[in-house]
């Protein structure tokens, strides 16, 4: 075990994780030893003969698992970004061990007595210390510390099982997504599809010994262009059906896993004294209750649905003009939506792609962070990574040279990576052993790959995704907190999307676009007429896109906001739950739930509404920037100091109000989207 890199002191730059040395076989032995050490630390806290104090109990507990944290963080990152069969096979046991250890802590009566003693003594503490004390006490009570021994054992059993179900769900989704391939044999079926997607499909086919064909798959850089541009309705249907039926039946079926996850979460909540899992979760969110979430969603549905119906009618009219049919199906919408955009604005989103080479977009994001927050990014070639696609940057304050963070990027799809995009960390910011440690932040995406003839050229949506995840990354990088559990982005889940969605606004500003949107061949910036078309189309079909996002939020709350028993069909349950937010007729054999990784394989259960909730915050915040000048130093510093750097040290509404001078205006989002 002395040669296990996870158990030795990391010696690279800023003690970065030695990803090039870590093998799958290292994780279980390292986790077991780290858990044993953490248990000894817990015993020391419990058996301390001195009167319980903040320092010898709460603070000691915060740092009791220091060796375990990087092990679990590293494994979790690999499980989502580089999930080899070996890594996936380890997940149930490793997460089971971790869940058992977490239960040991939260259900330990003697440990809770000390925490409660400190809490009840009402010590005079600083802001962060007070927040940590409150969070520590609530963590125990919300996880069963006040229960009888019998009920504690039930909680322990449930947590153990949930720790196994979530990775099992994710594994099935990854495998179902990576397995499907659409082989196209006729050139006319790829005419109109962006050249980059066609070239990638040809390269994939050539690699699979079919050089006279094209192979498309369910990775977003392949799937979205095909659905949007392929003239073959039959093949679009085949592609859409494959995506929409993932994990609904067949060898990767997740419907039983879903029902068990939901049932266990509701049972857990009831044991703890809550009506549903949503009631449990939302107690620690800005929204506070399922009723408030449902009211929020309903208010937006009331505005969005009529607008979405008008949007659908417009798209259907284009379809009817071309085909004499108004039988709109889900695999038709993106195709005719793009034609409507072309007809309305003389604008095709693909016209922008040549201006968005990935390297330039990344540089543009860095330059924006420099203008707003004074950050500088320099690539480091000697930081170990888990895959050749990963790049690492050292982040510093430009004026002072002060070190801020390590920043990892991983941009291209592969069979071992889950779909979508996310921000994660290899190390959270905080103070340990009296030393302030800076964070190691990562963003993982699935963007269009470079081909033999072209660099990676992004769609406008991919640019938006990059800036979104970079916003999350800035939240992590700029954290300035004492305790890791309070550091950014450890905030309420309906606040965590504010920094990310806020960053999306900048890519529609000419002053920002001109810093990075240069044609990959000529170096020219986006022509003024094309930029005007982009801005003119900014509110294009916003009703439809809003209703689509609300659909996911409603579905999430249907699963987690009510106790559902004896669901015979996931497909039928979803159809009934989302009828108010669904415009097109339900297609038999399809459902979103079986591959809804956010809520069944991630942390968004009873929290998907937070995307729309945070949109209200970020729309209001960006209005403030525009009112005072995009690069107003005071506004940018206030956003950094009161939102980005303070993590979960205070109530999020207090932080936002301190930045903005008032609470957010709910109508800011509707104004921006042209819905009022």
The Cα–Cα gap between 84 and 178 comes to 13
Q: Is 26 left (phi over 0), alpha (psi -120 to 50) or beta?
A: alpha
Q: Which residue has the tokens 């002072």?
A: 400
The Cα–Cα gap between 426 and 477 comes to 12
In 3D space, the residue among 399, 481, 404, 394 whose CA is nearest the CA of residue 438 turns out to be: 404
Q: Where are the beta strands (DSSP E) in 415-474?
A: 422-427, 430-432, 435-437, 440-444
Residues 6+ apart with CB under 8 A from 40: none
Cβ atoms of 162 and 265 closer than 8 Å:
yes
Burial class (CB within 10 angstroms; exposed 0-12, middle 13-18, buried 19+) of 220 = buried
The Cα–Cα gap between 616 and 613 comes to 6
In 3D space, the residue among 308, 317, 312, 343 whose CA is nearest the CA of residue 330 turns out to be: 312
The Cα–Cα gap between 415 and 83 comes to 8
The Cα–Cα gap between 633 and 645 comes to 16
In 3D space, the residue among 618, 546, 606 whose CA is nearest the CA of residue 302 turns out to be: 546
The Cα–Cα gap between 544 and 71 comes to 43
Q: Residue 20 gets which letter from DSSP?
A: T
The Cα–Cα gap between 198 and 203 comes to 9
Residue 444 DSSP SS3: strand
The Cα–Cα gap between 94 and 28 comes to 6
Burial class (CB within 10 angstroms; exposed 0-12, middle 13-18, buried 19+) of 21 = middle
Cβ atoms of 621 and 502 closer than 8 Å:
yes
The Cα–Cα gap between 602 and 169 comes to 10
Cβ atoms of 557 and 322 closer than 8 Å:
no
> So which residues are the catalytic ones?
469
| Relative orientation angle of helices 85-106 and 149-179, to the nearest 10 degrees | 160
Question: Residue 617: what are its φ and ψ, rounded to 5°?
Answer: -65, -50
The Cα–Cα gap between 571 and 249 comes to 11
Give the number of residues written for the chain. 676
């Amino acid at each position: 075990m002395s040669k296990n890199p996870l158990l030795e002191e990391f010696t690279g730059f800023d003690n970065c994780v030695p990803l090039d040395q870590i093998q799958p076989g290292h994780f279980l032995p390292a986790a077991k030893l780290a858990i044993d050490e953490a248990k000894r630390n817990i015993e020391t806290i419990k058996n301390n003969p001195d009167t319980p104090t903040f320092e010898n109990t709460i603070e000691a507990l915060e740092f009791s698992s220091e060796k375990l944290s990087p092990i679990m963080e590293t494994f979790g990152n690999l499980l989502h970004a580089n999930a080899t069969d070996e890594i996936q096979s380890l997940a149930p046991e490793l997460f089971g061990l971790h869940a058992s250890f977490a239960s040991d802590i939260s259900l330990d009566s003697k440990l809770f007595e000390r925490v409660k003693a400190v809490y009840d003594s009402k010590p005079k503490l600083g802001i962060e210390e007070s927040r940590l004390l409150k969070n520590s006490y609530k963590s125990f009570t919300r996880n069963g510390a006040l229960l009888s021994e019998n009920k504690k054992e039930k909680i322990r059993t449930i947590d153990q099982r949930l720790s196994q179900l979530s990775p099992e769900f994710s594994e099935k989704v990854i495998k179902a997504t990576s397995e499907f391939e659409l082989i196209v044999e006729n050139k006319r079926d790829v005419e109109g599809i962006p050249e980059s997607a066609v070239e990638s499909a040809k390269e994939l086919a050539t690699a699979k010994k079919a050089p006279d064909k094209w192979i498309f798959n369910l990775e977003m850089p392949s799937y979205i262009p095909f659905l949007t541009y392929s003239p073959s309705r039959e093949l679009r249907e085949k592609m859409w059906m494959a995506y929409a039926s993932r994990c609904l039946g067949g060898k990767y079926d997740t419907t039983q896993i879903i029902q068990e996850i939901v049932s266990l979460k509701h049972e857990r909540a009831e044991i703890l004294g809550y009506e549903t899992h949503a009631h449990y979760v939302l107690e620690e969110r800005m929204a506070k209750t399922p009723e408030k979430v449902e009211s929020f969603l309903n208010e937006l549905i009331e505005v969005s649905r009529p607008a979405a119906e008008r949007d659908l009618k417009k798209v259907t009219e284009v379809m009817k003009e071309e085909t004499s049919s108004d039988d709109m199906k889900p695999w038709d919408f993106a195709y005719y939506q793009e034609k409507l955009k072309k007809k309305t604005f003389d604008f095709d989103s693909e016209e922008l792609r040549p201006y968005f080479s990935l390297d330039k977009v990344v540089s543009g994001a860095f330059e924006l962070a420099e203008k707003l927050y004074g950050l500088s990014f320099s690539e480091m070639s000697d930081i170990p990574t888990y895959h050749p696609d990963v790049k690492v940057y050292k982040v510093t304050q430009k004026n002072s040279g002060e070190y801020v963070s390590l920043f990892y990027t991983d941009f291209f799809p592969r069979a071992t990576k889950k779909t979508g995009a996310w921000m994660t960390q290899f190390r959270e910011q905080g103070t340990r052993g009296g030393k302030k440690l800076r964070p190691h932040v990562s963003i993982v995406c699935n963007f269009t790959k470079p081909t033999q003839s072209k660099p990676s050229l992004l769609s406008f949506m991919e640019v938006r995704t990059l800036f979104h995840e970079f916003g999350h990354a800035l939240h992590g990088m700029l954290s300035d907190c004492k305790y890791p559990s309070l550091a950014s982005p450890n905030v309420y889940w309906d606040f965590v999307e504010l920094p990310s969605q806020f960053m999306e606004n900048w890519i529609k500003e000419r002053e920002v676009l001109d810093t990075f949107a240069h044609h990959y061949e000529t170096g020219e910036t986006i022509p003024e007429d094309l930029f005007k078309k982009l801005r003119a189309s900014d509110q294009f079909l916003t009703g439809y896109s809003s209703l689509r996002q609300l659909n996911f939020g409603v579905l999430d709350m249907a699963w987690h906001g009510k106790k559902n028993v004896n669901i015979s069909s996931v497909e039928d349950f979803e159809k009934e739950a989302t009828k108010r937010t669904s415009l097109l007729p339900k297609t038999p054999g399809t459902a979103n739930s079986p591959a809804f990784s956010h809520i069944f394989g991630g942390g968004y259960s009873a929290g998907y509404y937070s995307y729309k909730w945070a949109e209200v915050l970020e729309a209001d915040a960006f209005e403030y920037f525009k009112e005072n000048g995009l690069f107003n130093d005071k506004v940018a510093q206030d956003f950094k100091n009161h939102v980005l750097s303070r993590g979960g040290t205070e109530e999020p509404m207090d932080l936002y109000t301190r930045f903005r001078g008032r609470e957010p205006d709910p109508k800011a989002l509707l104004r921006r989207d042209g819905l009022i």
